[in-house]
Amino acid sequence: MPRILGLCGSLRAASYNAGLLRAAMEVAPGECPVLPGSIHEVPLFNADDEAAEGLPVAVKTLQAQLAEASGLLLVTPEYNGGIPGVFKNAIDWMSRGEGGKAFRGKPVALIGASPGGFGTILSQSHWLPVLRQLGAQPWFGSKLMASRAGKAFDEAGNLTDETVRDQLTGLLASFAATLK
């Protein structure tokens, strides 16, 4: 059965993007679940630490989850018009050692939510060269850039907007249909 690894690029529990990932897990097709990974325990990348101690356990876990997944769902916030540093850091760690092989040819869907009027268009665009460098396969079958997210999510970060939920449901169904 195909599975999608879902990663959220925000560490805040009540973030719009954490809520978007939770909603993705709820609306994913039954034959292709979205399983969450966590970047919370990934330390800042330091090659000296890697040389001395090897890959951190959190990174090894993410690498194994990615290797087992049929596709990757990046739920990306947009910070100062770009990729959140903590999210890029986690992906950089995941690409180390043998982990980089798991990205090659892996279909990747990008979604995100932002309080701004343009959603996460810049962040999603900034991911494309990174995914290209990793050899991943960006999926362009549909897009979701939830703008004005304060109106689409409650105070706890839960998705309450049915239009966004319907868009997410359709996107995941289309993405899942392309996975083996």
Rounded to two decimals, the pTM is 0.97
Distances (CA, A) of 21 to 2, 3, 135, 160: 18, 14, 24, 13
**Residues in CB range of 144: below 8 A, 6 or more apart:** 111, 112, 164, 167, 168, 171
Give yes or no for a contact between 36 and 28, defined as CB atoms under 8 angstroms apart. Answer: no
pLDDT of the chain, 180 residues: tens digit per residue? 999 999 999 999 899 999 999 999 999 999 999 999 999 999 999 999 999 999 999 999 999 999 999 999 999 999 999 999 999 999 999 999 998 999 999 999 999 999 999 999 999 999 999 999 999 999 999 999 999 999 999 999 999 999 999 999 999 999 999 997
**Residues in CB range of 136: below 8 A, 6 or more apart:** 72, 103, 104, 105, 106, 107, 108
Complete domains list, the chain, with CATH: 4-177 (3.40.50.360)
